[in-house]
Structure 1
Amino acid sequence: MKRKYVSLAVLALLLSGCGGVDPNSPQGQRQTIFKEMLKQSEDLGGMLRGRLPFNEQAFAAGAINLDQLTRTPWQHFPQVREEEGETRAKDDVWQRQARFQELARAMEASTAALVLASATPPLKPHKLVDPMQRVEDSCKACHEEFRAY
């Protein structure tokens, strides 16, 4: 009986990998980075909106982490769209590279400004709202132009 359950568990694991994105592919790598960016951004926004307790050190460290993450997904967009796997990136990413790169640099600038705003203690949450909003706005601007929902 135990063998049957072990076999079913192994089969389930094998099937769960079918049809997924290869985590080592450019698409898999950028998806992982974007998920990490989203988690970090949600935590920072949550601290400023009262969903999470504000922790000065965690906020400053999170801003640095978000800034570092923000500089990495762009290298995982190859010059030509990949054929395999579903992606939420519109074809415009590859057809309008200059604009895509412009929005990527704007995102990087907004996270750098957030790091600067959170670099000198004591941190006051109300003074971090505007820099955090600029980060969120830069995410939204790129999504509106280049992400298929």
Structure 2
Amino acid sequence: MKARNLVLAAFACLTLAACGGVDPDSPMGQRQAIFKQMLKTSEDLGGMLRGRVPFNEQRLVEGAAELDRISRTPWQHFPQVKDEGDTRAKDEVWQRQARFQELARETEAATAALVAATTATPLNSTELVAPMQRVEDSCKACHEEFRAY
């Protein structure tokens, strides 16, 4: 009888734990996953350029291309109507769509410029600091206007 009760209690705990998260297939879940991927990639690149992570030219070039690719994807997961649930996006995302889209394009332009800077040979890490800073600044600008902390 005790084993049965333990199994039922464990099952109940797992079921309740699963209810608290965001559906990964929802627009909110999709964009959160993309933004986490963008953050991880950006942190790796910034770490290489600031000396916190060993500089690896191939990883930097590949990371810049990956960041550019994924920077174009989260915007499609912002539906025309505000999400239900606990979103970190401010209401202004839906109220000021033109500005939100403008900042999205600025982020895309910054990541494209970073990729362009990685085509110079030989690759000079000090020349990549400014393009990487523009990427980080574009992310920060959007967060300051449209993300609730």
CA distance in 1, matches of 2:66, 2:115: 9
CA distance in 1, matches of 2:8, 2:124: 55
Unaligned residue ranges in structure 1 (runs of 5+): none
Residue equivalent to 2:71: 70
Residue equivalent to 2:16: 15
Deviation at 1:44, TM superposition (A): 0.2
| 1:26-66 deviation line (CA, Å, top 9, x unaligned) | 00000000000000000000001111000000000000000
Q: Which protein is bigger by CA-based radius of gyration?
A: 2
Tell me, yes or no, if structure 1 residue 123 matches structure 2 residue 123.
yes
Tell me, yes or no, if structure 1 residue 145 matches structure 2 residue 145.
yes
Output aligned runs, 1:33-52, within 5 Å.
Answer: 33-52=34-53
Q: Secondary structure at the match of 1:82?
A: coil
CA contact (8 A) 1:106 1:138 kept: yes
- Name the amino acid aligned to 1:88: R
Residue equivalent to 1:100: 100
Deviation at 1:80, TM superposition (A): 0.6
Unaligned residue ranges in structure 2 (runs of 5+): none
CA distance in 1, matches of 2:139, 2:89: 13
TM-score (norm 1): 0.92
C-alpha change, 1:5 and 1:111, in structure 2 (3 Å) is farther
Residue equivalent to 1:109: 109
Residue equivalent to 1:53: 54
TM-score (norm 2): 0.92
CA distance in 2, matches of 1:10, 1:61: 43
- Name the amino acid aligned to 1:35: K
Deviation at 1:18, TM superposition (A): 1.2
Residue equivalent to 1:134: 134
Percent identity, aligned pairs only, is: 70
- Name the amino acid aligned to 2:138: S
CA distance in 1, matches of 2:5, 2:67: 45
Q: How many residues align?
A: 148
CA distance in 1, matches of 2:49, 2:81: 39
CA contact (8 A) 1:56 1:122 kept: no
CA distance in 2, matches of 1:49, 1:5: 51
- Name the amino acid aligned to 1:86: D
CA contact (8 A) 1:27 1:76 kept: yes
